[in-house]
């Protein structure tokens, strides 16, 4: 059965980059594309600083604008990948809600990390943030930057089931792209211990123990996940002291894709790693996939 990649389309440059990324990915895996544009008639439109009242426009105007945006995107797909199956969906409603619903059962939901703004924008920056927890499949955020086609898949792994599922997704992407995976885990010595331990040698041993535990957890996660598939994909394991998002971003300078989980280990850690996924999605200069526990 052919898979499906959903792409949010709003006519902005990041949206165009999202489309280009999705087309390239679909050509590798043979998935069909579903291009989605949403529109609203309840607020003003802001085209690069120019505002007008949406209520002055008939509903048909928004419908026609939406169709034109989708037709242009579909024409681009036919131009660069005529063999791909491509469908379009125009729907009234809030972008995050519509895209989350349409993403049910998809292999990936691909969106731009910035939009046009206002009611005419299907993909505001806030929308991509909302979709990190609302998307019903892996979310790929693409900004207005270069789209690398070579290099490893970099994935953040913390030993939780969310981290393992992100690693599983990264291995699958690496297999499709015929590349390797760089699995990054970060550790931090609790600040309170650093303050109360005056002996540098003791502090060094403490740091080594924490690092060793992090390395062991990463090795176990890689072994466990590779037993379920893609065991032939090469995995470079990297253990870094520091904040998780910074560690991932610093080691993704040559990556063609970054993969993170939506949450972490434990209730508090889930909140923290949720912020990590958002920081990586916001700050990365290359595509980022955010994978939930239920994504496969």
Query: Of the spans 4-13, 183-192, 204-213, 267-276, which averages the highest pLDDT?
Result: 4-13
Mean pLDDT over the full length of the chain: 84
Q: pLDDT tens digits, residue range 27-47? A: 999 999 999 999 887 644 444
Does 49 score more than 70 pLDDT?
A: no
Q: pLDDT tens digits, residue range 241-252? A: 989 999 999 999
Pick the CATH number of 4-142 from 2.40.160.20, 3.40.50.620, 3.40.50.2000, 3.40.50.280: 3.40.50.620
Q: Please indicate whether the domains covering 4-142 and 153-291 agree at the CATH topology level.
A: yes
| pLDDT attached to residue 197 | 60
Does 232 score more than 60 pLDDT?
A: yes
Contact present, 169 and 138 (Cβ < 8 Å): yes
**In the chain, what are the domain boundaries?**
4-142, 153-291
8 Cβ contact partners less than 8 Å away, ≥ 6 residues apart: 15, 18, 36, 37, 95, 99, 109, 110, 111, 112, 122, 123, 127
| Confidence class for position 272, pLDDT limits 50, 70, 90 | very low
Does 267 score more than 50 pLDDT?
A: no
Does 95 score more than 80 pLDDT?
A: yes
Residue that wins the pLDDT comparison between 278 and 214: 214
Cα–Cα distance, 59 to 90 (Å, whole number): 13
CATH superfamily of 153-291: HUPs (3.40.50.620)
Does 205 score more than 90 pLDDT?
A: no
Q: pLDDT tens digits, residue range 156-203? A: 998 888 899 999 999 999 999 999 999 999 998 765 555 556 667 777
CB count within 10 Å of CB 129 equals 18
Question: What 3-state DSSP class applies to 238?
Answer: strand
Residue that wins the pLDDT comparison between 265 and 150: 150
3-state secondary structure 267-290: HHHHHHHHHHHHHHHHHCCCCEEE
């Amino acid at each position: 059965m052919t898979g499906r990649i959903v792409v949010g389309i709003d006519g902005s440059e990041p949206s165009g980059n999202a489309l280009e990324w999705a087309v390239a990915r679909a050509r590798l895996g043979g998935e069909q594309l579903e291009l989605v544009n949403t529109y609203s008639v309840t607020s003003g439109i802001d085209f690069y600083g120019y505002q007008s009242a949406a209520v002055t426009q008939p509903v048909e105007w928004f419908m026609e604008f939406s169709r034109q945006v989708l037709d242009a995107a579909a024409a681009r797909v036919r131009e660069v990948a005529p063999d791909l199956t491509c469908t379009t969906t125009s729907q009234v409603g809030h972008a995050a809600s519509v895209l989350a619903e349409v993403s049910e059962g998809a292999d990936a939901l691909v969106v731009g990390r910035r939009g046009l703004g206002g009611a005419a924008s299907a993909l505001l920056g806030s929308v991509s943030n909302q979709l990190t927890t609302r998307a019903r499949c892996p979310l790929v955020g693409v900004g207005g930057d270069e789209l690398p086609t070579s290099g490893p898949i970099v994935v953040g792994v913390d030993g939780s089931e969310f981290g393992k599922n992100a690693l599983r997704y990264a291995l699958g992407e690496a297999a499709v792209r015929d590349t390797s995976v760089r699995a990054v885990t970060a550790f931090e010595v609790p600040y309170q211990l650093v303050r109360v331990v005056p002996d540098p040698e003791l502090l060094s041993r403490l740091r080594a123990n924490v690092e060793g535990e992090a390395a062991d957890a990463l090795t176990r996660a890689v072994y466990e996940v590779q037993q379920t598939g893609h065991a032939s994909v090469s995995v470079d394991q990297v253990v870094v002291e520091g904040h998780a998002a910074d560690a991932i971003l610093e080691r993704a300078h040559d990556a063609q894709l970054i993969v993170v989980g939506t949450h972490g280990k434990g209730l508090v850690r889930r909140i923290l790693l949720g912020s990590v996924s958002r920081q990586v999605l916001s700050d990365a200069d290359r595509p980022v996939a955010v994978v939930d526990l239920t994504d496969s």
